[in-house]
A and B are shown apart, each in its own frame.
Chain A
Amino acid sequence: MTAPATPAAPDLDRVRARVATVPDPELPMITLADLGVIRAVGLAPDGAVEVVITPTYLGCPALPAMTEAIREALADCGHPDGRVRQELTPAWTTDAITPEGRRRLAEHGIVPPGPATAPLPLRLGLGLPCPNCGSAATRPQSPFGATRCQAVLVCTACRETFAHLKAM
């Protein structure tokens, strides 16, 4: 097998488009691109296709699954030697989630985050309306939820708990 030629720009565009559709392993209703995790799709100095991602939480247990899913997408596009590289700077914040990502989270009952620079109680969802009944009579139940990025709130009107992707 001969060494792969440097991919042309249209091919990189195709890879970019394919990588953008990879879903998040823990929140599969939203893509990694909409989560703001994909920083760049380009060529490494040695000519291999390289996807740069930034971790949401440093200990996010979904990172290996994300990396594997992106590698599979690269292989699908004809780049089995494609790589995934992590970059910590600048740090990820929930402000990187796209409007489409926020819409998809809300559609699935996870209240999307407000601004990451808000005071801590607001970032935990203080004052958020209940996604089930619309009541404003909600209160934070626990800052830690089913995944690291979620908080749990409870609605005192309909008594349901609901998830909130906390701003960070």
Chain B
Amino acid sequence: MTTDTTPARPAAPGPAPHPDPDPDLAGYALRLGDDALVLCQRLCGWITRAPTIEEDLALSNIALDLLGHARTLLSYSGQRDGTGRGDDDLAYRRTEREFRHVLLVELPDPDFAATVVRQLVFSHYAGLLYTALADCADPVLSGFGARAAAEVEYHRMHAAQWTVRLGRGTTESRRRMTTALDALWPYTDELFEEDGPSSRLDAAGTAVAPARLRDAWQRETAAVLATAGLAVPAPRWRATGGRAGLHTEAFAPLLAEFQSVHRQYPGGTW
């Protein structure tokens, strides 16, 4: 590792710095990028600890896809917010309150069932959102959407298969799935929250407001749960705050670990 004059790392996907700053678009890409980045980091916690070698590979490959999504989206956010920050700047040089991901993706995994339920929730949300983005007017988001939707199809299949396997497995696997569903379902609402920038971008056809994907998401996840013999939870409360930078206690330790190498070797490249 060196800390000076090494050649710049190849840029992440996307065009050169954008001449036309757009705070709505920058914020939109930031929210989606943070969702992918934080979920990636959570999934990486399973590496060497997954139930089987195939599952270890599956979760790390899914995490790798999410990292690619995060890099594309965060690079674009930095281009459109007028600061010219790169993906690494946004990943490593922000503090806890500056992250805009939903709380769902930062929650710790008490067991594998919780990971499966979260993957079920998030992959079906992301699949619908990225598929819709493929047809939006913004060229970077549509290019991202087309490619990412194809990748997420495998994440959906992975999560759905595990949901059915555990739901229809043993008394214990079923108990754990039910516990995870009850614990995580209050966090699903935040994915579809209405906000001004998303609505404006949606109205202009530039991007897609997640709010209008909620019905399709409910249908799709309910179908998987029905196959698994599991009930769709009906939570009496809902979590919120992540999109405003208000996070749970679990996020600060995750971020500290994620940023530790960058802090230890500022400016380091490999």
Q: Which residues of A contact B (CB under 8 A)?
A: 55, 57-61, 63-64, 67-68, 84, 86-93, 120, 141-146, 148, 152, 168
Contacts A57-B68, A58-B72, A143-B157 given; does A63 touch B10 at CB 8 Å: yes
B140 nearest CB neighbor, chain A only: A88
Q: Which residues of B contact A (CB under 8 A)?
A: 9-14, 54, 57-58, 61-62, 64-69, 71-72, 139-140, 142-144, 146-148, 150-151, 153-154, 157-158
Give chain B residues whose Cβ lies under 8 Å from the Cβ of A64: 9-10
Q: Complex Cα distance A5/B155, Å?
A: 49
Give chain B residues whose Cβ lies under 8 Å from the Cβ of A87: 143
Most buried by A among B71, B139, B146: B146
Q: How many A-B residue pairs have CB under 8 A?
A: 82
CB–CB B64/A59 < 8 A: yes
A86 nearest CB neighbor, chain B only: B13
Q: Complex Cα distance A91/B147, Å?
A: 5
CB–CB B68/A144 < 8 A: no
CB–CB A55/B150 < 8 A: no
List 7 other contacts, CB 8 Å, given A59-B71, A67-B10: A84-B10, A86-B13, A87-B143, A88-B140, A89-B146, A144-B54, A148-B61
Q: How far is the CB of A89 from chain B (nearest CB, A)?
A: 4
Contacts A59-B64, A93-B150, A144-B58 given; does A120 touch B157 at CB 8 Å: yes
Q: Complex Cα distance A129/B199, Å?
A: 50
Q: How far is the CB of B65 from chain A (nearest CB, A)?
A: 5
CB–CB B57/A144 < 8 A: yes
Q: Complex Cα distance A141/B150, Å?
A: 20
CB–CB B14/A60 < 8 A: no
Contact partner, A59, options B11, B58, B69, B143, Cβ 8 Å:
B69
Interface secondary structure of A, over-half rule: loop
Q: How far is the CB of A168 from chain B (nearest CB, A)?
A: 6
CB–CB A91/B143 < 8 A: yes
CB–CB B144/A120 < 8 A: no
CB–CB A58/B13 < 8 A: yes
A89 nearest CB neighbor, chain B only: B143
Contacts A58-B69, A59-B64, A93-B150 given; does A152 touch B54 at CB 8 Å: yes
A148 nearest CB neighbor, chain B only: B61
Q: How far is the CB of B145 from chain A (nearest CB, A)?
A: 9
CB–CB B10/A55 < 8 A: no
Contact partner, B58, options A55, A89, A142, A146, Cβ 8 Å:
A142
Give chain A residues whose Cβ lies under 8 Å from the Cβ of B68: 55, 57-60
Give chain A residues whose Cβ lies under 8 Å from the Cβ of B71: 58-59
Most buried by A among B54, B147, B148: B147
Q: How far is the CB of A39 from chain B (nearest CB, A)?
A: 12
Q: How far is the CB of B88 from chain A (nearest CB, A)?
A: 13
Give chain B residues whose Cβ lies under 8 Å from the Cβ of A57: 64-65, 68, 151
Give chain B residues whose Cβ lies under 8 Å from the Cβ of A146: 57
14 contacts between A and B (CB under 8 A): A57-B65, A57-B68, A57-B151, A59-B64, A63-B10, A68-B10, A88-B143, A89-B142, A89-B143, A120-B157, A143-B154, A144-B54, A146-B57, A152-B54
What are the 7 closest A-B residue pairs judged by CB atoms, nearest first?
Answer: A59-B68, A58-B68, A88-B143, A89-B143, A142-B54, A67-B10, A91-B147
CB–CB A148/B139 < 8 A: no
CB–CB A88/B150 < 8 A: no
B156 nearest CB neighbor, chain A only: A120
Contact partner, B150, options A61, A144, A168, Cβ 8 Å:
A168
